[in-house]
């Protein structure tokens, strides 16, 4: 390589470095909105420039954060498990099913309590919840039957 080619290389590196500080305008196609108010966007794949997968994201409504749950249909679309975004009918159908399940669970719980069932107790957590067996060593050799 001649020195002119090296200068050209450093020029390219310097230009790319400077361009990395410039803000990029990312605009995506609006793909839909869910019942919570999240708006979903996509930039489609463009194999001609080496982009093999689409970019997908969502913006929560004002005052909300990204920690709130999103509907399962939209999450599957965001994680590329489905190619097409969910339809409004599909979302409404799944929301009605979830509401029906909640109502049925409440009815079953009320029936169980009416029949004299008690409230479920929370299990004990920690070392006390594990079973103890006399034939296994507990760490104290004086109380172990093998060392007596």
Amino acid 12: pLDDT? 86
CA gap 74, 86 in Å, rounded:
7
Residues of the chain where predicted confidence (pLDDT) is lower than 50: none
Burial degree of 21 (CB within 10 A; 0-12, 13-18, 19+): exposed
| pLDDT attached to residue 85 | 94
Distances (CA, A) of 82 to 74, 76, 79, 111: 9, 6, 8, 40
Q: Given this model, what pLDDT does residue 6 score?
A: 59
Residue 52: what pLDDT? 86
User: Is 0.75 topped by the overall pTM?
Assistant: no
26-62 confidence digits (pLDDT tens): 788 999 998 888 999 998 888 887 778 888 999 998 8
Distance CA 12, CA 20 (A): 12
């Amino acid at each position: 390589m001649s020195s002119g080619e090296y200068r050209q290389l450093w020029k390219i590196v310097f230009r790319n470095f400077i361009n990395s500080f410039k803000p990029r305008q990312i605009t995506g196609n609006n793909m839909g909105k869910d019942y919570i108010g999240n708006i979903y966007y996509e930039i489609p794949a463009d194999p001609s420039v080496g982009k093999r997968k689409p970019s997908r994201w969502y913006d929560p409504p004002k005052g909300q954060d990204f920690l709130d749950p999103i509907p399962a249909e939209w999450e599957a679309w965001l994680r590329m498990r489905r190619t097409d975004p969910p339809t409004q009918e599909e979302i409404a159908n799944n929301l009605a099913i979830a509401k029906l399940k909640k109502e049925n669970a409440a009815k079953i719980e009320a029936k169980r309590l009416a029949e004299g069932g008690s409230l479920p107790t929370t299990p004990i957590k920690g070392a006390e919840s594990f079973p103890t067996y006399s034939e296994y060593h507990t760490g104290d050799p004086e109380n172990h039957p093998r060392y007596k």
